[in-house]
Amino acid sequence: MGAAMLNLGTPIITTFGSVLILFPTLFSFGMAADSLKSFILSEFKDLQHRCHDAMKSPKGLDVDDSFLQKCMMKCQGVTSNFPTTISGGQVSYYIQQYAEAILDFTYHDENVLSDADFPEKNAKERIAKIFSYLDKVSEMCLVVSPNSKPEELLGNELAECLLWRRGALLYGYCATIHGEKERRDRQVVELRQNLQMGVHYLLMLFKIRNTVFGTTHVPNDNETLELLKRGIYSETHLLALMYGGEMCYWFISTTKDETESERAARAIGLEMLNTCVQAIESIPELQAGWNTERAKELITAMNS
C-alpha cells in the first residue's frame, strides 16, 4: 500500500508531465487575508503538536518514526518561515505542503496498523481516525476557497494520492478480514461496507484528471492516448484497477444472493479488471513488469 506516498508510483506517461498538472492562478478565497493566514498557520501548528505527541508516545522498538519525522520537519519549516503576507499562489503552495505533511503523518499510522494485521478490537476506529486526518485536507480547501475543487488547489497527483491512500488502506483491511474465515463471518456486514467504500475511492481516483485535462493536449502517440482514455496516468492507476476489481469479487463472494448490489459490483469489477488487462497487454513497456494472471482468474470467476 505504500506505492504512493507522495506521488502515484512510476509515471507511465513522462513526456507530458508539465501538461498534466495544471494550477489555476486565481482563486476566490473564503476569508480575509489576515484570517486566511492565521487559519493556515494554526493548522500547521496543530499538526506539528500532534506529530510531536505521536513521536513521544510509547511504542515498540521496531516502529519506524521516519514519516513522523518528515511530517515534523515540514511543519517546522512552514511555521518558522511563514510570510507576513500571503498571496494567492502561496495559498495553493501551503495547502499542498499541508497535504504532504498529513500524508506523512497518516502513513506512519497506516504502517503500524498494517504491521499489526488490523487488530479486530480497534482497527475500525483507527482507520476512521486516519480518514479524519485525510479529510482535513479537503476541509482546508473548502474553507480557503469554497468555489474551487480540491484538485485545483492541490494539483492532480496530491488529489489522487488522497483517494488512493483511502482505497488502498481499505483494500489492506478487507484483505485481512477476507483471508480469515472466522473473522470474515463475524464482520461480514462491516466487510461489505468497507469493500463498497474502498471501490468508491478507487473509482474517484480516475475522475480527478477528467476535470482538468483533455487528451487533445497530447501529441499523436497511440499508446499514450490509449492509456489516457482509460484514465491511466501511472502504475498506481493500474494497481487501483486491480485492487478495485478484486474488492468487487470479494463483495460478490460474501453472499449467495444476487441483488442489484451484487450485479453492480460484478459490472464494475469486470470493467476495472478488463481495463487493467487490456492496458497491460496492449502496451509493450508494461508487459515486462506486470502479470495479468490474477486479474484473468478474477474475470473468469465473476463471469461464471
> In the structure, what pLDDT confidence band is assigned to residue 304 with cuts at 50, 70 and 90?
confident
Contact by Cβ (8 Å): 221, 28: no
> Within its chain, how far is the Cα of 220 from the centroid?
30
**How many other C-beta atoms lie within 10 A of the C-beta of residue 304?**
5
pLDDT given at position 95: 95
Angstrom distance (rounded) from CA 89 to CA 85: 12
**How many other C-beta atoms lie within 10 A of the C-beta of residue 185?**
11
State the pTM of this model.
0.85
Which pLDDT tens digit goes with each residue over 161-187? 999 999 999 999 999 999 999 999 999
Which pLDDT tens digit goes with each residue over 49-89? 999 999 988 766 577 899 999 999 999 999 999 998 887 77
Q: Is 73 exposed, middle or buried (0-12, 13-18, 19+ CB in 10 A)?
A: middle
Contact by Cβ (8 Å): 85, 37: yes
CA dihedral 180, 185, 187, 193 (to 10 degrees): 100
Angstrom distance (rounded) from CA 81 to CA 79: 6
Which helix (H) or strand (E) segment is 48 a member of?
helix 33-56
User: Angle 260-282/293-303 helices, nearest 10 degrees?
Assistant: 150
- From the list 114, 126, 254, 112, the residue with the least C-alpha distance to 190 is 254
Block residue for cell numbers 505521536: 54
Phi-psi region of 33 (alpha: psi -120 to 50; beta: other; left: phi over 0): alpha
Contact by Cβ (8 Å): 239, 264: no
Which pLDDT tens digit goes with each residue over 111-137? 999 999 999 999 999 999 999 999 999
